[in-house]
Amino acid sequence: MNATLAVVDNLIIIGKIYSSYGVRGEVKVYSFINPTKDSLQYKTWTLKRGLSAKQVELAGGRWSHKFLIAKLKGLENREDARLLAGYDVCVHRNLFPALTDGEYYWYQLIGLKVIDQLGQLLGKIDYVLETGANDVIVVKSCTGSLDNRERLLPYTEQCILAVNLAVGEMKVDWDADF
């Protein structure tokens, strides 16, 4: 499962419902937000799957091991909860807190061109992975890129030299042979 926050029509995908939980209409949610429990701070969710979308209100929830257990208003039984499996959990972009200079949400990095110090286009950022040591950006080839390789670059100060959202570029200190 791709755990990168994605943008859908001014909505940010913050998680995915993957099954029902118990018999009282609760659902299991895999959260893309770190820390996981922060998904519960958003009280209005838009659930999207394909062309289907619906707005729901969060009545409560809790963290349980690797997932959230969420209670949605009006959802009272297991059968109805089971029907929500596969829906993306989205919130409006404007609900995210403002960041300081030099900080970015993952969704802002997706699609940026990645250029090395020699001015070579390595590709575009496809998604971001969270690892124990540091985040990793996954760069896939695109039109005009140096080659057809996929690259995994650490999201560290040593590697990431500059991010320019307005231009759609990220400058990196990375050897194209890696």
pLDDT value for 57: 96
Q: What is 108-172's CATH superfamily?
A: PRC-barrel domain (2.30.30.240)
Tens of pLDDT along the chain (178 residues) come to 344 555 556 888 899 999 999 999 999 999 888 777 788 899 999 999 988 899 999 999 998 878 899 999 999 999 999 999 999 999 998 888 888 888 898 889 999 999 999 999 999 999 998 887 889 999 999 999 999 999 999 999 999 999 999 999 999 999 988 8
pLDDT value for 163: 96
Q: Is 82 exposed, middle or buried (0-12, 13-18, 19+ CB in 10 A)?
A: middle
pLDDT value for 141: 96
The reply to whether the predicted model has a pTM over 0.75 is no
Decide yes or no: CATH 2.170.190.11 for domain 6-95. Answer: no
Terminus-to-terminus CA distance in the chain, angstroms?
25
pLDDT value for 9: 66
Distances (CA, A) of 54 to 46, 51, 58: 6, 10, 13
Q: Residue 124 and residue 115: Cα distance in Å, rounded?
A: 9
Distances (CA, A) of 80 to 27, 54, 77: 10, 14, 6
| List of residues 6+ apart from 143 with CB closer than 8 A | none
pLDDT value for 164: 96
Q: Where are the domains of the chain?
A: 6-95, 108-172
pLDDT value for 3: 47
